[in-house]
Amino acid sequence: MKDKKYIFNASFYTTPDYRHQWEEWLNKDLFPFVAERVPDSESEVFQVLSEVNQDMLVFSVQFRCSTNDQLDYIRKETVPVFNEFRARFGERVTNFNSVLNKLD
């Protein structure tokens, strides 16, 4: 994974009631969309563990890329996917995206 230093990070906040629906969207919509367009990207999902989350579940979904161009492509091309996500879930599952660059 050393050559995968560029990361598109999508953070999600939800409740246990919507976790299954969010995971379904992730596996049926977001992962296939990115895998089709950037086949050599690697994805990982983390749950953020913190006492300040209260009753919320917080997840970090990361797509690791080899080049900045791949990262920019994911960032730009997933806009419609995230727009559909917001229309589907509203405030029940919220999201923000960020871009990370692994320091050597």
Indicate the domain borders of the chain: 6-101
pLDDT score of 23 more than 80 = yes
Backbone conformation region of residue 83, classed left if phi is above 0, alpha if psi is from -120 to 50, else beta: alpha
Please give the pLDDT value at position 55.
Answer: 82
pLDDT score of 2 more than 70 = no
CATH fit for domain 6-101, picks 3.30.70.100, 3.90.1200.10, 2.60.120.1270, 3.40.50.1820: 3.30.70.100
Proportion of the chain above pLDDT 90, given as a percent: 76
Average pLDDT of the residues in 18-22: 96
Average pLDDT of the residues in 87-94: 93
Give the pLDDT confidence of 26-73 residue by residue, as tens digits: 999 999 999 999 998 999 999 999 877 778 999 999 999 988 899 999
DSSP letter for each residue of 49-60: P-GGGTT-EEEE
Q: What is the overall mean pLDDT for the chain? A: 91
Please give the pLDDT value at position 85.
Answer: 95
CB 93 within 8 A of CB 20: no
